[in-house]
Amino acid sequence: MKTKLFYVVMGLALGLNPLKAQQTPAYLDDTQPIEVRIKDALSRMTLEEKVKLCTAQSKFSSHGVPRLGIPEIWMSDGPHGVREEILWDSWGNAEWTNDSCTAFPALTCLAATWNPQMSAIYGKAVGEEARYRRKDILLGPGVNIYRTPLNGRNFEYMGEDPFLSSTMVVPYIKGVQSNGVATCVKHYALNNQEAWRGHIDVELSDRALNEIYLPAFKAAIVEGGSWSIMGSYNKVRGEHACHNDLLLNKILKGEWKFDGCVVTDWGGAHDTKEAALNGLDIEMGSYTNGLSSGKNFAYDNYYLASDYLKGIKDGTYPLSGLEDKATRILRLIFRTAMNSKRPWGSFTTEAHYDVARTVAEEGIVLLKNEAYKKKGTILPLDGNKYRTILVVGENATRRLTEGGGSSVLKVKKEVSPLTGLQTKFGDKIKYTLGYASGSAAYDSENEATYNTDSLHAEAVKQAADADLIVFVGGLNKNHFQDSEGADRKSMALPFGQSELINDLLKVNKNIVVVLLSGNAVEMPWVKNIPSILQAWYLGSESGNAIANVLTGEVNPSGKLPFSFPVKLADNAAHSFGTISYPGDSIKEIYKEDILVGYRWHDTKKIPALFPFGHGLSYTQFKYGKAATDKNNLSGAEEITVSVPVKNIGSVKGKEVIQLYVGEEKCSVLRPLKELKSFQKIELAPGEEQTVSFKIGVGALKFYSETAHDWVSEPGRFKLYIGSSSTDIRSTVSFILN
C-alpha cells in the first residue's frame, strides 16, 4: 500500500495522471532501455522545456527539467584534473575547502608514454575524481594535432601524429566513462592555434582534414564511444566549428553515427539559424553574471534560447531538429546524472597519486645522455659521486598546475622538482633561483622585485663551486607561453634561460638540463650539455617522478609525441609565410597539407633536433632483422611483420618498437613514411622478445580527393621498424596487388 501511495504522490508532484502513477514512469526507471526512457520523457515535456535543455543555466551547468525531476548537467574543465568550483554566474572562485584535486600529468606526457595502458588507468582515475565531485561531463580529452610549436594549448593535446593520438585517446575515454561521467572530446576541429582563435577561418585540403586532423576525433567517437564532443572556436571553410554543417551534420552525426551531444566551447555559438540547423546541441557561454554585466545576453538570450523557441513556434526552424537535440541531451543525462548504477568515485587518494606518478615516470623522455669527460654518463645520478648538487631554475619550485587557462587546477598536493631531489639527496642539494618570471619575479617575503641580473650572477657564482648542476627550466603557464588564449611569440626559452645556461657552462660543464614544458623549445646550447630530460607538466607527483628518473630508480621509457625542430623555420607550418601561420587575422591556409611534423622533416629532408618517437633509456636494445610472413598482399589479407628485440644492457627497461609504412611510388604525394603501429615492451637484461605487427590494406590507404574516399594503389610498400621516426633498425618490402 505504501509503494502505491508513493507513486501516486510522485505522479501528482510531477504533473502526471495519478491513475497511471502506480507504476514508475518509464523515464525514471533505469532498468528500462535508455531509448525507451527518452521516448517517454519527450512525450511528457513541453516545447519550452525541450528548448531549455539546449542552453546553459550557469557557467558550468545546463538546464534539466525540474517539473519532471530530470536534473541539470554539471560540467568541469579537464582534462588533467577536476577544476575547482567557481561561482554560479561568474569566473570567481567559490572558495570551497574540499575541492583541491589530484593533478595528473598533461596529455603531452600521457602521449609520450606510448602506452595505452597508461591512458586507461589515467582515464579511470580522473573519472573517479570527477564522479566524486558530482560532475556529469569532464571537458576533455584534447586531440587537436600539434601543428606548430607556438600553439599555446599544445600541452593539452596528444602530439603531431593522428595514429598515436587515436590509439591513446580511446582507453582514456573508456576509463572516464566507466564512472558514469561523460568525456567531451575537444576541440572539434582544427583548433591548432590560439591566435585569433575566435574567428580565424581555416582552409585546408580534404586529404589533410581526413588524414591528419580528423582521425583522433573519429577514434574517440567510433572506438571510444565518447558521449559528448566540444566544438572549437575557429571557423572551418567559412562556418564556425560549433555549428558547422560539414563537421557536425555530415561527418560527425552522418558518417560517424555519433549519438551524443555537441557542446559549444564557451561562447562558441554565433548565429541562431546555424546553431539550429548545423548540429549544435548545447550552448555554453561566458557572457553574463545574470544581474549586471551581460544583461542583454543573459541565458534566455542565448542563440538556442528565446530566439530558437520563437523560430520553432513560427515554423522558421523544424521541430524535428529540436526533437533531435532534446533526444541527445536526454540520452546524455540518462547515461550520467540519472544513471543509478554508476560508482561513487573517489578523490585525492593514494591510488590516484600512484597513477599520476606512474604516468609521469613513464612519459618523461631522456633526450640526450652522453658521456661526460669520457667518464661515463651523468645519468642516472649516483649520489655518492657528489658532495654538492646545485639546483638552478624557477621551475624547480614553481607551481605549474596554476595558470594555463581552463586547465588550471587547485591541488591538494604538488611535489616540486626541488623537493623530490631533496628527498633523494638531503642536504647535498643547494638551490638558487637563477631566473624569474611573472609573479615569481616578485619576492613577496621581502616585498621587493627581484633583480634578474643578480639572480643570474648568483647562479653562476654558486655553479663554479658545485660538483653537479641540475638546471630545471622550460616554459610555464603564463600568457604567451603554455597557456590558453595566446600563442608563444617564439620558440626560444624565455626569461634569459639560454643565456644563463651558456654562462653556467663557462664555469661548470657538469650539467643536467630538465625541461618542463608542453612544447618544443630551441636549444642553442644542446651540443654542450651532456644530459637533457624532457619532463612536461607532471602534476601532483612531478618532483617525485623526476627524481626517480634522474636517479635511475625508474628507467626512462618515454618517446616524443612530436618533433623538436632545430629552429622555427624548420617547422612545416612556418615554411609558407604568415598566411599558413598565423593567417592574415581573417583566413589561414594549411599550405603544408598532409606534411605535418615528422612527415615534413622526413619527406623534405629537414633534420629535426629531436625526432618524433625519440627517447633514450639507461639500457640498450638491439633489434634483429625484420621478416614478413608473405611478400604479396591483396584483398582482405593481412601481412605479419616480426622483429626480435633484445635488451643488451645491464638494467631492466622498456622500449617502444615503432612500425612505419611508406609507399615507394604513388599518383599523389605521400609522406616518406607514416606511423601505423607500435608496441611497448619491457625486457630484463639479456632478455629477448619477438614483436609482431599485422598490417592490412586499410593501413596502406590515402584519402582520394577525386573519389572522396579512402583508396589504395597497387605497388611496392616498405615497412620501417625502429626506435624513433629516424632511428630505423630494420626494413622490409612487400607488394600490394
Q: How far apart are CA 90 and CA 533, in angstroms?
A: 40
CB atoms within 10 A of CB 483: 23
CB neighbour list of residue 193: distance below 8 Å, 6 or more residues apart: 147, 148, 150, 151, 152, 200, 487, 581, 582, 588
Residue 642 Ramachandran class (φ > 0 left, ψ -120 to 50 alpha, else beta): beta
CB neighbour list of residue 292: distance below 8 Å, 6 or more residues apart: none
Instruction: Specify the length of the chain in residues.
Output: 737
CA distances to 40, 63, 525 from 499, rounded to whole Å, are 68, 54, 9
Query: Of 584, 581, 535, 572, which is closest to residue 556 (Cα–Cα)?
Result: 535
Residue 114 Ramachandran class (φ > 0 left, ψ -120 to 50 alpha, else beta): left
Is 259 designated active site?
no
Q: How far apart are CA 90 and CA 137, in angstroms?
A: 19
Please compute, for residue 68, the number of CA atoms within 13 A of its CA located in the half-sphere on the CB side. 25
Radius of gyration of the chain (CA): 27
Say if CB 643 and CB 701 are below 8 A apart.
no
636 CB burial (10 A radius; 0-12, 13-18, 19+): exposed
Nine cell digits for residue 526: 644542446
What b-and-e string marks burial along 231-259, b requiring 16 or more CB atoms within 10 Å of the CB? bbbbbbeebbbbbbebbbeebbbeebebe
Residue 230, SS3? Answer: strand
Say if CB 81 and CB 122 are below 8 A apart.
no
Q: How far apart are CA 74 and CA 132, in angstroms?
A: 12
CB neighbour list of residue 7: distance below 8 Å, 6 or more residues apart: 21, 22, 23, 24
CB atoms within 10 A of CB 370: 14
Q: How far apart are CA 645 and CA 623, in angstroms?
A: 5
For residue 587, the surrounding DSSP H or E stretch is: strand 587-589
CA distances to 23, 34, 211 from 26, rounded to whole Å, are 8, 9, 44
481 CB burial (10 A radius; 0-12, 13-18, 19+): buried
DSSP E strand boundaries for 626-670: 627-628, 632-633, 638-647, 653-663
Place of cell 546555424: 274
Say if CB 175 and CB 578 are below 8 A apart.
no
What b-and-e string marks burial along 333-353, b requiring 16 or more CB atoms within 10 Å of the CB? bbbbbbeeebeebebbeeebb
Nine cell digits for residue 35: 531509448
For residue 389, the surrounding DSSP H or E stretch is: strand 389-392
Q: How far apart are CA 737 and CA 734, in angstroms?
A: 10
Catalytic residue among 77, 99, 265, 482: 265
CA distances to 179, 318, 327, 420, 543 from 540, rounded to whole Å, are 22, 49, 39, 11, 8
Say if CB 272 and CB 307 are below 8 A apart.
yes
CB neighbour list of residue 209: distance below 8 Å, 6 or more residues apart: 189, 190
Query: Of 153, 159, 173, 183, which is closest to residue 678 (Cα–Cα)?
Result: 159
User: What amino acid positions are annotated as catalytic residues?
Assistant: 265
